[in-house]
């Protein structure tokens, strides 16, 4: 083993608590030192991801983000501060990461991750980490990783919930879950719906843990973790490659990155999906359920939660079983999706819409809001 392939005394001291972990050791720490990670977005998710990867000893991090630091960023984008307001996020983030790990090499991509550089950037790094906040870049990153045979770690947040996806080459990709890019207005942004900074911290830290697990060879399958911070629960959804996937399937239709495929799209005003709200209040849900043609109400909580309390007429399909029980959900009738607080049900609503169910809406606030505002006889927990 050459000197370059050994840890220095300084590195052994710096990473001593991590090196002691099973599956790490000096060889694992060396793997992290040699790793090249591309971070898409230096915002609410990219901040904790970057900080923890730098602290873990990842040797090279590329940062792709075209934005500048704004005051509205600071409550959640903890890699930035008041002293960096107005600076490009790439520069601000690089300075902060360098404070955590002076030996870190940082490559800046202030042009962002675009159709013009996506394939080349994905090829330059060992793994791509997507913390962006728009569908066009998410799908561009996902397709670039499939075409470039690179693993992808994806994260997203909304209000007090989020998800972390790990997509390994040949094991199921992002489009196996979401085959078609939704309209830009199909899901509210954090600017529209709000988000707790701590939620970004939870999801971003989880993303960093998954990146490290992939780099250390601890992941053998694709997976999606759905986290409801408000409810204090998370659910692991196992993924498998979909033979009909348009990107990684047996007969893929996506064989190259075409600019038109990733152009942000506006909602079509006459489409069934745009006529169906993404989310309804419990008051509106009650009105619909009491009408002459009530929608199908799906409860995506677990069986033990369902046994505690339920809304009359709800059909139990726990969230992690939805992908295998799509045949039970008709596509030609209105569907309401409900959980405890509304986090899990929002993820299922997004999933069903991406799978071609245009008339699905989330019940905002879940059964908790139903008990508080509609029927106090429904027990709360």
Which residues are known to be catalytic? 190, 339
Whether 212 and 53 have beta carbons less than 8 Å apart is answered as yes
Name residues whose C-beta falls within 8 Å of residue 329's C-beta, 6 or more positions apart in sequence.
296, 298, 317, 322, 335, 352, 357
135: left (phi over 0), alpha (psi -120 to 50) or beta: alpha
HEC string of 286-331 equals: HHHHCCCCCCEEEECCCHHHHHHCCCCCCEECCHHHHHHCHHHCCC
Q: Which two tokens stand for residue 20?
A: 């002691």
């Amino acid at each position: 083993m050459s000197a370059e392939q050994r840890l220095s005394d300084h590195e052994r001291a710096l990473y001593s608590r991590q090196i002691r972990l099973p599956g790490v050791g000096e060889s694992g720490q060396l793997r992290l030192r040699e790793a090249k990670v591309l971070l898409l977005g230096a915002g609410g998710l990219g901040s904790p991801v970057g900080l923890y990867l730098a602290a873990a000893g990842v040797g090279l991090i590329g940062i792709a983000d075209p934005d500048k630091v704004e005051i509205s960023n600071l409550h959640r984008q903890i890699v930035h501060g008041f002293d960096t307001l107005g600076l490009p996020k790439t520069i601000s983030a690089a300075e902060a990461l360098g404070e955590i790990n002076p030996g870190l090499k940082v490559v800046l991509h202030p042009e962002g991750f675009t159709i013009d550089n996506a394939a080349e950037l994905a090829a330059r790094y060992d793994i791509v980490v997507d913390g962006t906040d728009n569908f066009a870049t998410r799908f561009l990153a996902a397709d670039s990783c499939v075409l470039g045979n690179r693993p992808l770690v994806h994260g997203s947040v909304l209000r007090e919930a989020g998800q972390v996806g790990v997509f390994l080459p040949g094991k199921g990709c992002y489009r196996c879950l979401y085959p078609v890019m939704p309209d830009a207005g199909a899901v509210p942004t954090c600017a529209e719906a709000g988000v707790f900074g701590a939620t970004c911290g939870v999801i971003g830290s989880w993303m960093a843990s998954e990146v490290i697990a992939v780099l250390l060879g601890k992941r053998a399958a694709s997976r999606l973790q759905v986290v409801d911070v408000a409810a204090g629960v998370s659910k692991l959804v196992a993924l498998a490659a979909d033979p009909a996937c348009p990107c990684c399937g047996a007969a893929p239709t996506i064989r190259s990155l075409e600019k038109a495929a990733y152009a942000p799209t506006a909602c079509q005003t006459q489409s069934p999906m745009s006529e169906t709200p993404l989310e309804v209040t419990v008051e509106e849900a009650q009105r619909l359920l009491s009408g002459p043609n009530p929608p199908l109400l799906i409860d995506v909580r677990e069986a033990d939660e369902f046994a505690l309390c339920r809304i009359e007429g709800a059909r139990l399909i726990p969230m992690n079983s939805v992908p295998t029980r799509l045949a039970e959900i008709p596509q030609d009738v209105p569907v309401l999706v409900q959980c405890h607080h509304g986090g899990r049900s929002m993820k299922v609503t997004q999933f069903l819409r991406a799978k071609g169910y245009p008339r699905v809406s989330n019940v905002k606030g879940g059964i908790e809001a139903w008990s508080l505002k509609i029927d106090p006889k429904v027990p709360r927990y």
